[in-house]
Chains A and B, each alone.
Chain A
């Protein structure tokens, strides 16, 4: 999916970012970018998805959160933000109401922490579950208490 021209201009002039699929943005500007895209007509939230990357020699243990928004009918932009484990990224719930459940699901399964989220509880797993199963270091055979 190619990024539309007006978004490329917006990114270069206001944010000093390179266009791409996905666009990488820093944590302190992700809310501003989401708001600017919504003003530019990208009002449809497609998904929020996170993935976990264990620590390497170059990078610490971290997760990536990717947001994809769409301007109907076809234009689509994805932007992502890197979140080191133990730190948080600001929530986009004030911009897109749909981020509520999407970010909750990703917090539950991947463990990314969204600061300022109004209701950051587990949504898929039981409230007393330990760990986040979609992290790469979570063993699929992890034993849990038998009464669960």
Chain B
């Protein structure tokens, strides 16, 4: 049927924002290919309103694979289910999010169905004439942008960087089909048992989905000084990130680390305080919409990539910024 597919993601029955971001990517491709867009939901507990929202935000069809045993992601089971569906429906493009789930599932699936796969794409397009999917992604720490295609294999598969696309507005009038797909017993992987997800970890952050991130580095001088950033973050509704230097010094936990050996983020606003901006750190923030750098070193490389830089002592600037934001809130309320 040569549809374009997206793999929706859910957590505890709630569809994640990336599921809708993928639809806006998929919609554009399906329109160029003059085909339909389908979204796949594997899991338990996503109700009819959630499935309908996928249609209202761009999907023509929704394949819903629901089973209580699919509450937690198990790569082999997901890959078995998808491989089965891919062989049956023969989609031309399959998109998933470049998340811990998508980046695990898709390479596994690509081997099973002998498809080409491109990781962490920030741009997708259709090549005029050939109808090949053009997949553009940052590589070598974001220092090059490579455009890749898969001329001889179908489906063409890609993972898409979260927060790199704008969600389509919800159209309550949009109609589509919701198809309940049964799961064959033999598709369940028996060699893996998931016990659950430990989210009660002290100070855990989901930086990948954050709208605003405030991060600190070596310039903070000691771990306790992250308190300054936490106060600023509270005013901005931001999450706190860190450079590798700060994490390696034990000032803050690894889930906070941004950069080549940590997380890649694309928030609307990224504020770095006391981070010089190594090539590895820049790799993790280049797709942030707005970058602000606060550093007393005028030659800090991060100042070069910033949209706004303050050459000044973070110990003066950050508290003042926090105070001003707090005051403007107090005035407004």
Whether A associates with B in a native complex is: no
> Residues of B with Cβ closer than 8 Å to A?
none
> Residues of A with Cβ closer than 8 Å to B?
none
